[in-house]
Amino acid sequence: MQTDGDEVDGPRTIEVSELKAEFLTLMEEVAGRGEEIVVTKNGQPVLRLLPYRVKPGSPFGRDRDFIRIHGDLDEPIDVEWDAVTGRGFGQ
């Protein structure tokens, strides 16, 4: 089993026999820390324990009930604009 002190990249690994004996403890660790554990059988990976996460929704349309567009966004405005000062003429 890979322990916290090991200098190995990647997720922690355990043998399936340890999973059987320590399932509830491992489940709480995965849920609490948010890290995955790879379960191996005879040294070969067979499954991953991952924390359950709700996928975030698409950002498109999430503010549709809060944003209102008044008028035509493509219609030109009646103010001459100075790009250097960032102000309309006559202000």
pLDDT for residue 51 is more than 60:
yes
The count of other CB atoms within 10 Å of the CB of residue 14 is 17
pLDDT for residue 83 is more than 90:
no
For 35, phi then psi, to 5°, come to -105, 150
pLDDT for residue 27 is more than 60:
yes
The residue ranges of every structural domain in the chain are 12-49
pLDDT for residue 11 is more than 50:
yes
CA distances from 29 to 2, 32, 65, 82 (A): 14, 5, 39, 60
The separation between the first and the last C-alpha atoms of the chain, rounded to the nearest angstrom, is 73
At residue 88 the predicted structure's pLDDT band, cuts being 50, 70 and 90, is: low
